[in-house]
A and B are shown apart, each in its own frame.
Chain A
Amino acid sequence: MSIAGPILEARDLTKRYALGQTTVDALRGVSLTVQPGEFVALMGASGSGKSTLLHLLGGLDRPTSGEVILGGETISDLDDDAATRLRRDRTGFVFQFFNLIPLLDASENIGLPFTIAGQDPRRGEAADRIRDVLGLVDLAGKERHRPDQLSAGEQQRVAIARALVNRPDIVLADEPTGNLDFTTGGEILEALWRSCAQRGQTIVLVTHDAKAAAYADRVEVVQDGVIRDEIVLGRRSDHAASPLIARLAQLGL
């Protein structure tokens, strides 16, 4: 989709939860824009509100106030059917835990959006796209492996391939390396970065890890439900974390 201006825009988002007798303000007036093809990281400590923000950006949850605009369309007040179509056609998700259907093999897991839409993922363009993303995440030859026959990193790459297969406007990844060792985590981030660099895929990554955030073009630091700071790193192929770490240190984070 070619749109002039931001692909994603959040305007003054708040999110309030009831927790027993008290209420918790998870987000308190967050505004954010993401440009097409941009890789943005939302960084913050546990409980800072970064995952809540990601859920609102992807239409998984509704804000208490404010709005989210994706590709020029407000998605924060969609009814359930429209939100479902949005998730199926225009967004892709990668979660921290392995998020695969254990009974389906890698290829079938990747083809889920097609299956759900009533298409046969084994035929036509769907099959081509699955082959394409399998190559992108470096899993060619493992199409028929079930999740329990894949390593943790491979499973997460299947999840990335699934998120990419529908060529969504935006991929939202919530701590995709949180459960992985350093090397495997690196492979996942490489895969995400490649999709961004080679295919122009817009990505929003949530992480608490500076090394992961260093893959992004821009890092938004979330703290206590607000965006505390923005650190622009630019498109870099070395993904060195030191400039980001230095900047965070300057901020006292």
Chain B
Amino acid sequence: MTGLDRLAWRSLWARPLRTTLSVIGIALGVAVLFAALATNAGIEAGIGRTVDDVMGRSDLRVGAFEEHGLSQASLVAIRATPGVAVAAPLLEQRTYLQRDPLATSAASADAYLAPVAVIALDPAIDGAVGGIHEVRLAAGLGLPSGRDAEALVPAAFAHDLGLELGGSVTLLGVNGPVSFKVVGLLAGKGPDPTTGERTIIVPLAASAALFGPRGVSWVDVTLAGSYTVDGVAAALDQRLTFEPYVLSDRADLAATLQASTAGFQAMTALIAAVTLFGGAFLIFNTLSMTLSERVREIGLLRAAGASRRQIQRLVFCQALVLGVAGSILGLLLGFGLSILIAGTVGSLGEGVPIDGPVVPLPGVVLAAVIGLLVTFAAALEPAIQAGRISPIEALRPPVAGRSSIASQMRWLVAVVVTVGVAGLALWPIGLGPAGSGADPGATIARPLLVYAVLLGVTLLTPLILGPLGRLAGLPFALFLPAETRLSRGSLARDRKRTALTVGALTIGLAMIVALGSLAGNARAATEAWLTDVIPGDLVATSIRPISADEGVAQQLAAVGGVARVSPIARFAVAFRGVRLDAAAVSGSDLATDGRLTFVAGERRAALTALDAGGSTIVPRAIADEFGLQVGDTLQFPVGGGEAVAERIVGIVARGMPGQSGEAVLLGWPDATGRFGVLGADAFAIRFAPNRATDAGPTLAATARGLALEPTPLAGIEGAISDAFGRVFGLFDALALLAVVIAGLGIVNTLTMNVYERVREIGILRAVGLSRRQVWRMVVVEAGIMGVVGAFLGCLAGVVLGFALGGVAGLGWASGAPTIPWLTIGLAAAFGIGIAMLAAFQPARIASRISIVRAVQFE
């Protein structure tokens, strides 16, 4: 360490507040970056674990397409296929619990309301240690008999239900309630993690009592010896001719899970990038300020013989110390943050699989390197400016603002672009080998768009700061005219510094508003979707298919105040080798109810054709994916080498919600006659005008009497809205960190403004400005910055919200953009509040300035 290096260290040490703020700024940026990497790596690991849990030890899954499942003939054929070592059949069905008020406490009543997943397996070959699906028991014996009405329940779920080992659980079956004896408590969730904790395992042989005679949902297969997945799949194709099926292997499942988490991962990456952007602002501003404060000191060093290179080295040395300290602290904070994020994400349920954050070594290196890179990039311009200071500067009075706004802004652009591009290019590496599955193109497009908008606003800031500052000062001037006038002057003193400070706040607030806009769009789109396609005010769902001749629809329609009952069945079809969701609907009901928004095809003709058969209506998303048009004929294989041809008669903006996307619509004659659909699994019920309130309870009672579970549409929308709220709440929390960084920047800038104005404040005090007035002057200064930042941030946020809403790939957040007024109001209040809060310490310093010392200060 040379003498000047020691000077760099001592200079940082001498300004503990500013040094601390800078380190925290970098640390928060690195922390969010690292937390995002660790969370995303955790999700990738979670996907791997989920695949293991779902597939167990199996290599291939033969899934049923049709409602009645895979037949015994298919199971026999699978077992006889060369290469198949073990074939384990499983049945998975949803049903409802029946609570015995005498045997269970009232406290557990809520736990009985939601549906449960019943998994039926063959205990002779599965569901034990060494089976394909391992079931770990916390207590009890497992399913010893293999055919009695015995059940295994996850221990935590049993606790919620108030059930004990040896007790009895009653499930709603197709022919009424069926009781099962609880013979074991599971240590985990059960063999299928996608069903969550609300799972009950019963023997396959005993499931017929519940669901009637039907085939299994899927058969999981392990391969023998040297057989390959492709080879066995080809052999199965030859032999399975009884009904349609779909084959999937572990890679297919991983790809599906990755696709479902891509939006989430992209969003965390985006917020991390933006937070780092804010961090870069802070460090750039700090080093620039330190430089302008030390012009005379550096002039003296130059006069004493220090070379330009030595001076530049001095600035870089400081940057290195700040960068290393910030990165180390950031990694520690980031680890803590990633645990919190993983906890929140984990609580979201089935959507995003994660057990906990995973620390990817490349991610640690990447976060630290980017932290240092940001620091160095930000230090480059101040270092060059420092090198240009001439010895003569030591003799001149201090001047504010050494370099032009244009040159600083050029540097800012360079810094941001460099850091942004480097970060984005290195991002997939940072996730480690597990992250290679993510689509880099989709991940990068959004951050680039966001960077471009934010950079544009930042560059615009110094140009409009003057008039905007005057406008922003008006409300303050009403109450504090003298302080406002002095504050405005101070902000105008160094426009680039003010612009950078306001810029950091703008960015943080823009992200909050943009996220609010996206969340609002997503909620509105979902609500509009359901309203657009469901021909009813509520949906009554059944655990078994209800055929038309059972008269259930008629009984529901007979309830006073019910205008229409429309049966719906959801099933799956195969198309071009992939599984598609399909829904059987009544075209005439949709036509009468005015549902569906047609983007191609003639509405009335299309819905009439649907009921006539041989026709299908496809959602726009599927039409776009497969390049389909009205008039095209689709071939759906249905087993035995046969296929059903359906002509597209219309394309709609949104189809029915399916299991994993939107469903193609088919008429009831085709569904039952050609696809083997046994009956409706839901009824959309429309009340007569103004009758929902009085007819609702009667209808609910009638539905429950028919073993149907009625759910109002608003309830479905509310549940979706809640899920969005939790996801976006997490994003908001991350974006808030960017605003906190901006708050640190404001503390930094105001403190610097105060220190630069010690003499000026001294004069004002000598002339008669009170301590309170000084205090208020600094707070108003922050307030004006807050108002300007809030205005620009909200504006940029709305633009971003619109822009991001239009980018493909944000499936859950697409829809007609809306302006989130509430979020804008809250973000603006938060921004102005944090700015004024940030002024507290600088204002305190300013108000305590001694007049005597200030006027002697040169």
Contacts and interface: CB of A to CB of B under 8 A. Distances in A.
B485 A115 contact: yes
B771 A84 contact: yes
A113 B767 contact: yes
Given A112-B764, A115-B482, A118-B482, A99 B769 contact: no
Interface stretch (B487-495, B582-590, B710-718): B487-495
Given A84-B768, A113-B767, A60 B851 contact: yes
Contact of B482 (A61, A116, A174): A116
Nearest to B760: A101
Contacts of A162: 767
B259 interface: no
Interface in A63-100: 80-81, 84-85, 87-89, 93, 95, 97, 99-100
Interface in B738-779: 759-760, 763-771, 773
A87 B766 contact: yes
B481 interface: yes
Nearest to A114: B482
A118 B770 CA distance: 12
Contact of A118 (B481, B493, B767): B481
B769 A116 contact: yes
A196 B773 CA distance: 32
B858 A116 contact: no
B770 A60 contact: no
A83 to B, nearest CB: 9
Given A99-B855, A116-B482, A93 B766 contact: yes
Contacts of A117: 482, 768
A104 interface: yes
Residue in B492, B763, B768 with the greatest tally of chain A CB atoms within 10 Å: B768
A124 to B, nearest CB: 15
A97 B854 CA distance: 11
Given A101-B763, A112-B764, A80 B852 contact: no
B592 to A, nearest CB: 72
A201 to B, nearest CB: 17
Nearest to A99: B763
Residue in A58, A89, A102, A104 with the greatest tally of chain B CB atoms within 10 Å: A102
A211 B735 CA distance: 66
Interface in B479-528: 481-482, 485-486, 489-490, 492-493
B768 A116 contact: yes
Interface in A231-251: none
Given A80-B770, A116-B482, A116-B768, A103 B852 contact: no
Nearest to B489: A103
Nearest to B761: A101
Interface size class of B (residues with CB under 8 A): 20 to 34
A84 B769 contact: yes
Interface in A121-135: none
Contact of A55 (B493, B764, B852): B852
Nearest to A104: B489
A60 B855 CA distance: 10
Given A60-B851, A103-B492, A115-B485, A87 B760 contact: no
Contacts of A85: 768
Contacts of A60: 766, 851-852, 855
Interface in B385-414: none
Contact of A112 (B481, B759, B767): B767
A84 B765 contact: yes
A105 B334 CA distance: 50
A103 B765 CA distance: 17
Interface string B765-796: 11111110100000000000000000000000
Contacts of A95: 763, 766, 855
Given A97-B759, A99-B759, A103-B489, A116 B851 contact: no
A43 B769 CA distance: 29
Residue in B766, B855, B856 with the greatest tally of chain A CB atoms within 10 Å: B766
B440 to A, nearest CB: 50
A61 B482 CA distance: 25
Interface in B119-141: none
Interface string A139-167: 00000000000000000000000100000
Residue in B489, B764, B855 with the greatest tally of chain A CB atoms within 10 Å: B855
Contacts of A101: 486, 489, 760, 763-764
Contacts of A118: 481-482
Contacts of A104: 489
Nearest to A179: B858
Contacts of B486: 101, 115
Contacts of A93: 766-767, 855
A215 B831 CA distance: 57
Interface in B821-858: 851-852, 855-856, 858
A87 B765 contact: yes
B103 to A, nearest CB: 75
A211 B533 CA distance: 97
A100 B397 CA distance: 14
Given A99-B759, A99-B763, A118-B481, A174 B855 contact: yes
B493 A103 contact: yes
Contacts of A89: 768
A113 B766 CA distance: 10
B493 A116 contact: no
A97 B489 contact: no
Contacts of B489: 101, 103-104
Contacts of B482: 115-118
Interface string A165-187: 00000000010000000000000
A103 B767 contact: no
B852 A61 contact: yes
Contacts of B493: 102-103
B492 to A, nearest CB: 7
A88 B767 contact: yes
Contact of B768 (A87, A97, A99, A103): A87
A174 B773 CA distance: 25
A103 B771 contact: no
A97 B858 contact: yes
B485 to A, nearest CB: 6
A113 B482 CA distance: 10
Nearest to A117: B768
Contacts of A81: 770
Contacts of A113: 767-768
B764 A116 contact: yes
B770 A84 contact: yes
Residue in B489, B769, B773 with the greatest tally of chain A CB atoms within 10 Å: B769
Nearest to A165: B767
Nearest to A60: B851
B763 to A, nearest CB: 5
B277 to A, nearest CB: 31
Nearest to A55: B852
B854 to A, nearest CB: 10
A2 B701 CA distance: 97
Contacts of B764: 101, 112, 116
A100 B757 CA distance: 11
Nearest to A80: B771
Contacts of A112: 764, 767
Contacts of B858: 97
A80 B851 CA distance: 12
Contacts of B855: 60, 93, 95, 97, 99, 174
Contacts of B771: 80, 84
6 contacts: A60-B766, A61-B851, A81-B770, A88-B767, A99-B763, A118-B482
Given A89-B768, A103-B490, 7 more contacts: A55-B852, A61-B851, A80-B770, A88-B767, A93-B767, A101-B486, A102-B760
| A-B pairs with lowest CB-CB distance, top 5 | A88-B768, A103-B489, A84-B770, A95-B855, A87-B768
